[in-house]
Amino acid sequence: MYAYIARQPIYDNTKALYGYELLFRDGEQNSFPNIDGDEATSRLLTEHHLLVGVEHIAAGKLAFINFSAETLIHHFPTSIDPATTVIEILETVPISMELLQACKALHGMGYALALDDHDFDPKWDIFLPYTRYLKVDVQQFNLLQISKFIQRIKHHPVTLLAERVETAEQFDKLKLMGFTLFQGYLFARPEMMKHRQLSSNKLNLLELIGEACAEQLDFDRLSSIVERDVALSFKLLRFINNSAYAKEQSIQSLKLAMVYMGEAELKKFIALLALANLANGEEDARIIQSLVRARFCDQLARLCQYPTNPPTAFLTGLFSKVDELVEMPMAQVLSQLPLPASIRQALSERSGRLGHILALIETYEAADWVQAEKLASKLPSHADLAMQYHDAVQWAQGILQPK
């Protein structure tokens, strides 16, 4: 499944890119679907901001996003960075004291507000002290009407943004009138973007990954997370009952099962479970390779006497191909996973001692024996790479096909 979004550039008066307006889409067709504004805002945030981040969609520029009154008053997502987002309020939303107080509070928190498709109605004047941008649809008014309006509100330090600019003549005249930002077909049409959707239990998976990276597990919290998802509960019990930990007895309680496994092994399993689900259960060559890398990195870290709780080397190998599995750039994936800085550094830069081990397994996979030996010689403990790799392959096969 894919999530869709369109972005339309906004330029300054020198035609330099200033930001993007983000427009919700629900398919390949580049048009707004027939859905409620609240739903569009909610889905834009959950399908794009929580997964990818609006700062990535907007390529580091400001992201202008439409918000409904209901969302602003009751459900505003404070996870959005005020330094990267402009909150657009449509002229169709009902004015109320609740909305005014919400805008005042957001302004106080550092968020920039824009009155979108502004219609010059004086009823909006009470919002101007908290407004940074006024967006005017220049196809709806003639230049004289726009000029009179600008004169009326000139004592408010707002930035004027002209929408639906279609000709160079319009652009030049609007600049003379005081507009400094511009959007419209003269510059660019909305650009469609899509990215792969992850499963609906993503929040549970991210919480699980966070627990796997913790110094100390909270078994009550962990069991409550797993119990929310029947599939995760089943997989956990199946894994334990098919492992060496359950040779003597069958384990039926999730919490007791977790305690019985021990923290270090449980953290590894949590990460395995999360990866499989982030990849939508695809047990393809990339999953196998990720498991082999996880085991290989973990064993080398043990030989080098690196800390194993949390199992950072294991997690580094396990998530080294997660970008391919979810079809997203690694930088975007890392922005969504609560991984320690050492793992992020290894995955994004191949630096640090975890990055060194990861680079070693990659050269071994590529049969670059000279480089592999060169990297291995820099480890604090010598290891038989062939034996370690064979062990890792056998272990990965056992995980995917438990007896």
Return the structure tokens found at 217. 């597990």
Architecture of domain 2-196: Alpha-Beta Barrel (3.20)
Q: Which residues contact 359 (CB under 8 A, 6 or more apart)?
A: 350, 375
> Cβ–Cβ contacts within 10 Å for residue 396, how many?
20
Contact 30, 5 (CB under 8 A): no
Handedness of CA 96, 101, 102, 107 (dihedral sign): positive
- Output DSSP code: residue 48: I
Cα angle 318-323-327, degrees, rounded to a multiple of 5: 140
| Alpha-carbon gap, residue 79 to 50, rounded angstroms | 9
> Cβ–Cβ contacts within 10 Å for residue 254, how many?
19
- Output DSSP code: residue 293: H
Q: Which residues contact 312 (CB under 8 A, 6 or more apart)?
A: 213, 301, 306, 340, 342, 343, 354
Domain 202-400, CATH among 1.10.3210.10, 2.120.10.10, 3.40.50.2020, 1.10.357.10: 1.10.3210.10
- Output DSSP code: residue 78: T
Q: Which residues contact 153 (CB under 8 A, 6 or more apart)?
A: 125, 128, 134
How far is CA 154 from each of CA 130, 135, 157, 274, rounded to the nearest angstrom? 15, 15, 7, 55
Contact 332, 301 (CB under 8 A): no
| Alpha-carbon gap, residue 41 to 90, rounded angstroms | 12
Handedness of CA 320, 322, 325, 329 (dihedral sign): negative
CA distance from start to end of the chain: 33
3-state SS assignment for residue 4? strand
pLDDT at 66: 84
Contact 197, 3 (CB under 8 A): yes
Return the structure tokens found at 378. 């820099």
Kindly state the helix (H) or strand (E) to which residue 332 belongs, with its residue range.
helix 330-336
pLDDT at 30: 44
Contact 87, 67 (CB under 8 A): yes
Up-side HSE of residue 257: CA atoms within 13 Å toward CB?
25
3-state SS assignment for residue 217? coil
Return the structure tokens found at 298. 């973990």
Does this model's pTM top 0.85? My answer is no
| Alpha-carbon gap, residue 2 to 364, rounded angstroms | 35
Residue written as tokens 């106080």? Answer: 108
CA R_g for the chain: 27
pLDDT at 340: 80
- Map out the domains of the chain as residue ranges: 2-196, 202-400
pLDDT at 77: 59
Contact 211, 221 (CB under 8 A): yes
pLDDT along the chain (403 residues), means of 10: 76 93 63 49 47 66 85 68 86 88 91 90 92 93 90 91 93 94 88 58 66 73 67 59 50 62 72 66 70 88 80 85 78 74 90 92 89 86 81 77 49
pLDDT at 229: 62
